[in-house]
């Protein structure tokens, strides 16, 4: 199976601009950026509850603890949330009328939580409608890993952040591009 497209900055801006002009813009932007800024799988994003992201004082957590039922490999893991994503999550949470911590973080139009499959299909449609060809629900995650690798983050750290059990799995996510090669030869 072909790997998901790694997004360029221009492509990310293109899809975010498209999302900003549609219904549920804040929700869709936040879901998309959760894959891009935290490297979460679409199924993990779909499984999030409000309680997973909020501290007791109502602020956004700096770490999300996913239990085994929320992850692909059925192994619990911690997802670290950077400042950019915390701001996005805070903006989204501020739009919610009810703040029941046990309910899904992201809702469909029918006020039900997304399934992993429904959210994957939704992302595919968003990318297609925004004319970002080859992108899928895994593009944000793959871009997250590739961007960190291009900034010199070691593969063992990437493996842990991605929740992989094997370095070879993580290495398959890293898309080598011309910019990375230019940077590499300048290190000599």
pTM: 0.89
Q: What is the mean pLDDT of residues 131-135?
A: 95
| 184: pLDDT strictly greater than 60 | yes
Residues 78 and 130 in one domain: yes
Residues 101 and 173 in one domain: no
Average pLDDT along the chain:
91
The CATH number assigned to the domain holding 110 equals 1.10.443.10
Residue range of the domain that includes 21: 9-137
Q: What is the mean pLDDT of residues 32-39?
A: 97
Residues 152 and 182 in one domain: yes
pLDDT of 1 reads 56
Residues 68 and 103 in one domain: yes
Residue 4 lies in a domain: no
Percentage with pLDDT > 70 across the chain: 99
Residue 81 lies in a domain: yes
DSSP structure class, residue 152: T
Interatomic CA distance for residues 11 and 18, integer angstroms: 11
Q: In sequence order, what are the residues at sequence separation of 6 or more whose Cβ sits closer than 8 angstroms to the Cβ of residue 50?
A: 93, 96, 99, 100, 101, 102, 103, 104, 105
- The number of folded domains in the chain is 2
pLDDT of 171 reads 86
pLDDT of 6 reads 92
Q: Which of 70-74, 87-91, 134-138 has the lowest mean pLDDT?
A: 70-74
Identify the top-confidence range among 100-104, 127-131, 177-181. 127-131
Residues 15 and 35 in one domain: yes
């Amino acid at each position: 199976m072909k790997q998901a497209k790694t997004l360029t900055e221009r492509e990310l801006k293109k899809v975010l601009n498209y999302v900003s002009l549609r219904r549920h813009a804040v929700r869709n932007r936040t879901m998309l950026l959760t894959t891009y800024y935290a490297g979460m799988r679409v199924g993990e994003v779909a499984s999030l509850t409000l309680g997973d992201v909020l501290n007791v004082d109502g602020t956004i957590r700096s770490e999300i603890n996913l239990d085994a039922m929320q992850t692909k490999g059925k192994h619990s893991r911690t997802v670290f949330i950077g400042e950019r994503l915390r701001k996005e999550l805070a903006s989204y949470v501020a739009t919610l009328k009810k703040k029941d911590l046990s309910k899904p973080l992201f809702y469909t139009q029918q006020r039900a939580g997304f399934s992993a499959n429904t959210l994957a299909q939704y992302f595919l449609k968003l990318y297609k409608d925004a004319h970002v060809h080859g992108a899928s629900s895994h593009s944000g995650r793959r871009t997250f890993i590739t961007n960190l690798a291009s900034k010199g983050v070691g593969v063992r750290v990437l493996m842990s952040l991605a929740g992989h059990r094997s370095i070879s799995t993580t290495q398959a996510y890293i898309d080598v591009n011309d910019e990375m090669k230019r940077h590499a030869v300048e290190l000599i």
